[in-house]
Amino acid sequence: MTALLPRRGLAQILALIVILAVDRVVSPQFFDLRLQDGRLFGSLIDVLNRGTPVALLSLGMVLVIATRGIDLSVGAVMAICGAIAASLADTHGLPVVLAAALGAGLVCGLWNGFLVAVLGMQPIVATLILMVAGRGIAQLITEGRIVTFSSPDLVWLGNGSVLGLPVPVVIALGMLILTGAVVRGSALGLLIEATGGNARASELAGVGTRAMIIAVYVWCGVCAALAGVIAAADIMGADANNAGLWLELDAILAVVIGGTSLFGGRFSLVLAVLGALIIQTMNTGILLSGYPPEFNLLVKAGVVLAVLLLQSPKLSGFAGIATRLRGTKA
Amino acid sequence: MQNSLDPAMPLLEVRGISKSFGAVHALQEVDFTLRAGEIHALLGENGAGKSTLIKVVTGVFPRDAGIVRIGGEDIAPRSAKAALAAGIATVYQEVNLLPNLSVAQNLFLDRQPMRFGIVREGEMRRRAKALLADFGLDIDVAAPLGSYSVAIQHVTAIARAVDLSARVLILDEPTASLDRHEVEILFRIMRQLAKRGIGIVFVSHFLDQVYEISDRITVLRNGRLVGERETASLPRLELIRLMLGRELAETTSARASAGEHKAREVCASFENFGKAGYVAPFNLELRHGEVVGLAGLLGSGRTETARLVFGAERADRGQARVEGTPVRLQSPRDGVRHGFGYCPEERKTEGIVAELTVRENIVLALQAKRGLHRPLSRREQDEIARRYVKMLDIRPADPERPVGLLSGGNQQKVLLARWLATSPRLLVLDEPTRGIDVGAHAEIIRLIRELCDDGLSLLVISSELDEIVTYSDRVVVLRDRAHIEELAGEAIDVGNILAAIAADSVAVALEAHT
């Protein structure tokens, strides 16, 4: 389990601290927490709560990217599964609703995995298909309307609290622990990293690379389904057009900020989730600062660039040269 | 074949060229001389340095040392374009022209006849037609180049090069994708050009063609020049010896005599095993504690045999047996399950996972064999890694170092360790000593012997014949993707292997000689 907390997370932790400090400056109450009706409130809790969908997506995405793939369809899968959950919520119990939504996510993942691993399509193209078609499927399920529901069970999933923490945050934490336990507790982590690092070599070493690739897309689909259910529960309805819109890009960003290369290989679950939190901390900070939201995207781009540069081996190379130059001068 | 215009003055003179990539010496003080009007074959096995030499001469790679002269003048081209300006044109196996443009446009690309800023299509076509007519080609020059056969594309590329006033024409494996008739067309054109005083460098691994077309042969091996001869005075056997052998001391097998290994039990056998268009069906028995060498020239079917035996490629006929029991062998996973291991020739692309550590690379195959649900604990991994790092003397002795940072020899040892950790019954090694420095080379050969003494069965491919002779109990010789001969015991020596490779004609010649 030591691999869950690698030493290489320094750049991400530093970035998060800096952004938190900036947030504190723009909004003096940023770190205030208060307990009300057995539930914590405050900007920090808000960050965690709002960051949950992207954090969940990044858990699946990081595994897909570790195999040198990418999944553009997660936003659309969120929409599909949210729509399924919303349409079943008032007629069925929570277990059925969850099973149906997560099952749909699993099928979506199988489809992507099939296209990539069996038909050998490029992941970006293969998942683009479901990214486009998925929204259409979601609209078919909702029949073009925004489906609302009032099932208290499902609403609790989005707005309830456990031990003072919002339920979505608890779910995301649980998924992080579960994924970590499965991936690092079995040989899956090593075999995924080997597959992403060199698929041909891994196959010749007897690794079932095809099954590995299907498995990560399936997991990515399940994570997206959960994110979709939570997003629907949060607003007590499913909006096929806007649920999870563009979140695939945030999830990819979170993984990249977390230091996993798009060329596959080494990955870190914890740092990917940290990446999602960095993005959300930034979003919340900009909202609180009262700047016009147009700045949001630019600031985000700037911060992302900074984090990536901090991790870049080339840059540390330059830093090394600079130190050496200074050393010779002195 | 024909007298040069000025025998005193070579057309292209290369002297003392050296080129290193990191610690690897790709070329060491290589000389090469091309006379005007000569067809000069440049030969050597994979990794001998042929392409590096061509790329250095044509300015694709900068050289570390040495000079290149053309017509007595020193040149130092920085790019293929500069080399062309100096009169050296290269046509590669994959023609680098634009298949979507017409033949005429390809011929005059970058220098179309213009008037008032407009390309004179008619004029261009007329000139293209005339140019190709010189080469005995009468085709519609307005049709896209891609609509013609590879041979015509080659001729177009050559015509373009010659029209750009090339004096030296380098043809890199031009015949690899041509059929017999097309090869004849190409050869006719090569002879025409040679008559006009152009010097042609012909790179090929088809020895028949080399003997048919070339006047002179230069052979490289391991980045060094090993000889330049007149084709007519170089017997085929001698040529193969130059390409493959080292000093050819009369090395004979240091291994057990032919009688002894018969008694050993069969570990794996392959009956009428083969794949259409890949390797002709073969029979092969591999016994415990025995090394079987695969010898043959580049492209003779050695690697293909290895991949079929391991299961990396699916055989479409024949039966594989392990310890006498028929088995399914359709994927590397099947091979691993039956206790096979395979160290491929392409270490970097098919062997190591560069980013992962030495430890992770070593346990990879064992973990894959055990399956997902039975992970090796970190402590077990550490122990396995430590054991093999020590046993094979992998340096640096740090299991946590990414394997990509190790030298070639140590990467090879990591791959050996990966398979040894699975306690295999059969190991297939494809060129295990390629690109490895001399010290590690000897060590790997020592390892091969030790493993074999421990009862492992080994199938080893090597281009180094004296190496094969040193460790093999039996040697299978391949030619043209077929197993043609099996040598055992006393019969294993470099001379016999060469004779088998060099085809029947030589065997007949030898017989006549004695």
CB atoms within 10 A of CB B276: 10
CATH number of the domain residue B287 falls in: 3.40.50.300
pLDDT tens per residue, range A223-236: 999 999 999 999 99
Below-70 pLDDT ranges, chain B: 1-8, 46-47, 177, 245-263, 435-439, 503-514
In a domain? residue B346: yes
pLDDT tens per residue, range A157-204: 988 889 889 999 999 999 999 999 999 999 999 999 999 999 999 999
In a domain? residue B14: no
What residues of A are in contact with residue B349 (Cβ under 8 Å)? 198, 200-201
Q: Which two tokens stand for residue A205?
A: 């070493």
Between A234 and A313, the more confident residue is: A234
- Sheet of B39-43, strands arranged across: B88-91, B168-172, B199-203, B39-43, B216-221, B224-230
What pLDDT is recorded for position B258?
A: 42
In a domain? residue B7: no
Q: Which two tokens stand for residue A123?
A: 């992941």
Same domain, B205 and B293: no
- pLDDT category of residue A322 using cuts at 50, 70 and 90: very low
For A235-261, b where at least 16 C-beta lie within 10 A, e where not — what string? bbbbbbeebbeebbebbbbbbbbbbbb
DSSP string, B435-497: T--HHHHHHHHHHHHHHHHTT-EEEEE-S-HHHHHHH-SEEEEEETTEEEEEEEGGG-BHHHH
Same domain, B357 and B423: yes
What pLDDT is recorded for position A201?
A: 95
C-alpha–C-alpha distance, residues A190 and A184, integer Å: 8
What pLDDT is recorded for position B513?
A: 42
What pLDDT is recorded for position B507?
A: 45
Same domain, B379 and B451: yes
For A62-83, b where at least 16 C-beta lie within 10 A, e where not — what string? bbbbbbbbbbbbbbbbbbbbbb
Which of B244, B273, B294 is the C-terminal boundary of a domain? Answer: B244
The rounded percent of chain A whose pLDDT value lies above 90 is 64
Output phi, psi for A265, to 5 deg. 100, -135
In a domain? residue B29: no
CB B278 within 8 A of CB B262: no
Domain extent, residue B93, equals: 36-63+77-244
Query: Which of A198, A204, A267 is most worth mutating to test chain B (most B CB atoms within 10 A of its CB)?
Result: A204
Mean pLDDT of chain A: 88
Between A299 and B258, the more confident residue is: A299
Same domain, B229 and B265: no
DSSP string, B73-91: EEE--SSHHHHHHTTEEEE
Same domain, B49 and B187: yes
What pLDDT is recorded for position B510?
A: 46
In a domain? residue B17: no
Same domain, B231 and B314: no
Same domain, B172 and B131: yes
In chain A, positions 238-267, which contact chain B (CB-CB < 8 Å)?
Answer: 265-266
**Rounded mean pLDDT of A244-265?**
90
Facing residue for A266 by CB, picked from B337, B344, B355 = B355
* Cβ-defined contact of A187 to B364 (cutoff 8 Å): no
* Cβ-defined contact of B349 to A198 (cutoff 8 Å): yes
What pLDDT is recorded for position B378?
A: 92
Same domain, B198 and B269: no
Same domain, B191 and B330: no
Same domain, B180 and B319: no
What pLDDT is recorded for position B244?
A: 76
- pLDDT category of residue A101 using cuts at 50, 70 and 90: very high
Which of B217, B244, B271 is the C-terminal boundary of a domain? Answer: B244
CB A305 within 8 A of CB A43: no
Same domain, B228 and B266: no
Highest mean pLDDT among A118-127, A298-307, B71-80: A118-127
Total tally of structural domains belonging to chain B? 2
Which of B198, B213, B244 is the C-terminal boundary of a domain? Answer: B244
In a domain? residue B325: yes
Q: Which two tokens stand for residue B224?
A: 């060094």
- For tokens 């940290």, what's the residue? A274
What pLDDT is recorded for position B403?
A: 92
What pLDDT is recorded for position A7?
A: 58
What pLDDT is recorded for position B92?
A: 81
In a domain? residue B19: no
Same domain, B329 and B225: no
Q: Between chain A and chain B, how many beta carbons pairs sit less than 8 Å apart? A: 82
What residues of A are in contact with residue B367 (Cβ under 8 Å)? 187, 190-191
Tally helices (H) and strands (E) across chain B. Answer: 18, 22
What residues of A are in contact with residue B424 (Cβ under 8 Å)? none
In a domain? residue B434: yes
- ipTM confidence score: 0.85
Least confident of A13-22, A39-48, A196-205, B296-305: B296-305
C-alpha–C-alpha distance, residues A159 and A165, integer Å: 10
pTM: 0.73
Which residues on adjacent β-strands are paired with residue B17? B30
CB A118 within 8 A of CB A59: no
Query: Which of A190, A195, A214, A262 is most worth mutating to test chain B (most B CB atoms within 10 A of its CB)?
Result: A190
What pLDDT is recorded for position B119?
A: 80
